[in-house]
Chains A and B, each alone.
Chain A
């Protein structure tokens, strides 16, 4: 069991299941899925998602526009929602974070419902991502006082930074999984200094996890994401988040 905080910085937790291309998907899936989850996610909305893919190929820049339908299903408090699109299931939990004990059962409900209505052939990707926004009450921040994960700036370089993005990928389980950790300043004009700590633990090898082990993978991913989070921060931040025993 990890540490608990009164004011956790989590803006969003995202659990994503992406199915392999050989999984059959048709227009009846969203309706059948909704019938099974409507007790948990009663509010339904449909969105057309247009994606522009810009590819840097041998013939220069090429772009492709794709349109897909995605169904969004919201829990009564609208803090947790499910997104369902072709071969894609996403569970989003927004601030205030409902705790892992509150989120995991919702992931289970959605994942089990999908297995009931789709003959899943494989898992292309599973991901568990935590996006944290950490706000400081003042403008000048000594990162090393708050973090154990921050950009190292040599003494011969200017010590003042206007902005930064730092990304590291850590391998797990013999590189079957990876955890991409990003610390970056927020964009836009802000009166306060704020950084985003984005922890994205994902399955890096398609089909390396059995469908029946999907939920175990998610539990394991949560443990690793929690370790990473605690590894990134120092006690001064823990004090800001108000740790509770």
Chain B
């Protein structure tokens, strides 16, 4: 039986066997790739991993849009609270052109608002039958500089949205950031 669970458990214990050490090394490779991927996000990056591969070697680069979206969502989940990730997935499938803009926007928001809680959702505008991605910045306290800071962050990815189908809006709903453990 498969049971859907939220959250995961990490066990910390000394590694003694060769197998365990290999697993640790394998995880280290993946962690290194993830860290480097984050660094590369500013330039629209993708990762190719080459490890000990018992099955046929996969194509040297992944060309699937779905896999690209899953990678972006996985990366986002570490930095952003995704409100209905399924809808975000569906949105990105519909507006594939902005997939590479999403990590740029999150990266810009994170750098300009290191203290903020970031929330992403698909917003539906009932008045004009339009929907777009919204990245909310939530702070513990707001001051007058918020609009200017938002504009500076937005300026870093706005050009990449030009002439594309789909939209991503960086904004705030002025709610208080929640404490995240």
A11 CB contact (under 8 Å) in B52, B66, B74: B66
Complexed CA–CA distance, A162 and B50 (Å): 27
The answer to whether A131 touches B2 (Cβ under 8 A) is no
| A94-B65 contact in complex given A49-B46, A54-B50, A188-B74, C-beta closer than 8 Å | yes
State whether the Cβ of B180 lies closer than 8 Å to any Cβ in chain A.
Answer: no
Interface residues of A, count at CB 8 A: 60
Complexed CA–CA distance, A65 and B92 (Å): 26
State whether the Cβ of A190 lies closer than 8 Å to any Cβ in chain B.
Answer: yes
State whether the Cβ of B93 lies closer than 8 Å to any Cβ in chain A.
Answer: yes
The answer to whether A53 touches B4 (Cβ under 8 A) is no
The answer to whether A94 touches B93 (Cβ under 8 A) is yes
The answer to whether A160 touches B48 (Cβ under 8 A) is no
Distance from B56 Cβ to chain A, minimum over Cβ atoms (Å): 6
Within 8 A of B (CB), among A149-184: 159-164, 167, 169, 178, 180
The answer to whether B3 touches A92 (Cβ under 8 A) is no
The answer to whether A55 touches B63 (Cβ under 8 A) is no
State whether the Cβ of B33 lies closer than 8 Å to any Cβ in chain A.
Answer: yes
Complexed CA–CA distance, A54 and B32 (Å): 9
The answer to whether B96 touches A81 (Cβ under 8 A) is yes
Distance from A228 Cβ to chain B, minimum over Cβ atoms (Å): 16
Complexed CA–CA distance, A65 and B48 (Å): 10
Complexed CA–CA distance, A121 and B140 (Å): 61
The answer to whether B32 touches A131 (Cβ under 8 A) is no
B50 CB contact (under 8 Å) in A56, A187, A188: A56
State whether the Cβ of B59 lies closer than 8 Å to any Cβ in chain A.
Answer: yes
Which residues of B have CB within 8 Å of A83? 63
Within 8 A of B (CB), among A162-218: 162-164, 167, 169, 178, 180, 185-193, 195, 202, 204
Q: Mark A127-156, 1 if CB is under 8 A from B, else 0.
A: 101010000000111110000000000000
State whether the Cβ of A236 lies closer than 8 Å to any Cβ in chain B.
Answer: no
The answer to whether A51 touches B61 (Cβ under 8 A) is yes
| A162-B5 contact in complex given A51-B46, A51-B48, C-beta closer than 8 Å | yes
The answer to whether A188 touches B85 (Cβ under 8 A) is yes
State whether the Cβ of A125 lies closer than 8 Å to any Cβ in chain B.
Answer: yes
Complexed CA–CA distance, A78 and B85 (Å): 22
Q: Mark B14-55, 1 if CB is under 8 A from A, else 0.
A: 000000000000001100110011001001111111111001
The answer to whether A50 touches B29 (Cβ under 8 A) is no
For A45, the closest partner residue in chain B by CB is B97
Which residues of B have CB within 8 Å of A52? 33, 36-37, 40, 45, 47-48
Which residues does B use to contact A, with CB under 8 Å?
Answer: 1-8, 28-29, 32-33, 36-37, 40, 43-52, 55-56, 59, 61, 63-67, 70, 73-74, 77, 82, 85-86, 93-97, 100, 164-165
A-B interface, 3 closest residue pairs, ranked by CB to CB distance from nearest: A193-B4, A12-B66, A139-B4
A-B CB contact pairs (8 Å), 27 listed: A14-B63, A48-B44, A49-B46, A50-B43, A52-B33, A52-B36, A52-B45, A53-B48, A54-B47, A56-B29, A61-B29, A63-B36, A74-B96, A78-B96, A78-B97, A81-B96, A83-B63, A94-B65, A127-B59, A139-B4, A143-B1, A162-B5, A167-B55, A188-B73, A189-B7, A189-B85, A193-B2
